[in-house]
Amino acid sequence: MDLRQPAQQTPELEAAIARARRPVEPLRSPSTGLADRLKSIRAVASQRLLSTRVAVARAERRGRAIWKQDEEVRERARATITAIVAGTARAGEAEKLAIQHVIEEQVRETFFWRPWRTPDIDPASKQRLLGAFTANRAVLLSSCHLGPFFYGAEIVHSLGHTQYSVAAPWLFQTPPPGPWGMRLSRWSEAISARGERLVYSVGSFEVIKALLEQGEIVKLYYDMPGGQPTQFLGKPVMLSGGSARLALQTNALVVPTRVRRVGHRVWMDVAQPLDARDFTSIEELHTTLATAHERWILELPATLEDPNRDGAWERGATARAWTRPERPVNQTHNRLLAS
């Protein structure tokens, strides 16, 4: 099915593309006070002085301790895992997976604040990625928020390419004082270091389409809310259908990827690219992507970020279905990216 219609260049679109092409500048968070700043610097420095093996082992112990001590954390983890595995073959493992989820949250935080290293990659995955990058085709990387997912672009950078990632509005904020500002600063620092580019998510469809038509590598997260009804993880889930729609409109190769940890090491898996020209409809490609990501998630369900976190389903993901209450700020984004 060929839906190709080149993006119509307008001054607004050209300006948005130009903004997406600009290098990301590392931003600094204003200090809330010398004492807080010194405490934060010491904490990060202390962690980075540790080997990755020791830092991850500490995070695992911390996660187990938090599970034992904090009832609120336990209940939240149980709700998260129930929303993920209900209706699947792993539903009976919910309690064990909830414990692991708390541990994985601590491990992901450890990876976040350490230097972002290039993940390991097996030869077959590397060959699939290189094949897509050298095929003279539009390439759309499709991923989910599994494990230390933010390491994924390191592979693209190490292979000599630039990744354009679609990012939520919060990543474009000026870092405010305090912990959230320091987190935004960390994001911008790491993204800038690897030359990754960011596309503002709201109203981004035509920008992404134009970048793909111009031969850029674009990454979209599949596990985000939208208007495409999908049978996913054993239940009805309202997902964004933008990946499939963009692929069919640009004849792109869609490359499913996953980041996972094995002990203190991080790996990136790459599935066989899906050629949009082989699919007869948006729904067919979208469903094929759902199957690929669902299999990977159910192998490691405790490593998926909480679907009810701010910016995702926001308490709308349950054991029965994942739906998200609409908010005005998201209406344009959902209309453009969802089918």
Give 273 or 333, the one with higher predicted confidence: 273
Q: How would you class 37 by CB atoms within 10 Å of its CB: exposed for 0-12, middle for 13-18, buried for 19 or more?
A: middle
State how many domains the chain has.
Answer: 1
The Cα 308–Cα 81 span in angstroms is 11
For 203-245, write each residue's pLDDT tens digit.
999 999 999 999 999 999 999 999 999 999 999 999 999 999 9
Does residue 52 surpass a pLDDT of 80?
A: yes
Is 62 within the bounds of a domain? no
Is 45 within the bounds of a domain? no
Distance, C-alpha 282 to centroid of its chain = 22
State the CB neighbour count (10 A cutoff) for residue 100. 22
Is 125 within the bounds of a domain? yes
For 272-292, write each residue's pLDDT tens digit.
999 999 999 999 999 999 999
Percentage of the chain exceeding pLDDT 70: 88
The Cα 181–Cα 171 span in angstroms is 10
Is 327 within the bounds of a domain? yes
Is 154 within the bounds of a domain? yes
Is 6 within the bounds of a domain? no
Residue 48: the pLDDT is 66
Q: What are phi and psi of 323, to 5 degrees?
A: -135, 150
Mean pLDDT over the full length of the chain: 90
Is 109 within the bounds of a domain? no
Is 164 within the bounds of a domain? yes
Residue 333: the pLDDT is 37
Entry pTM: 0.90
Percentage of the chain exceeding pLDDT 90: 81
Residue 50: the pLDDT is 86
Q: Which domain covers residue 326, as residue numbers?
A: 11-33+117-337
Which of the four pLDDT bands, split at 50, 70 and 90, describes residue 179? confident
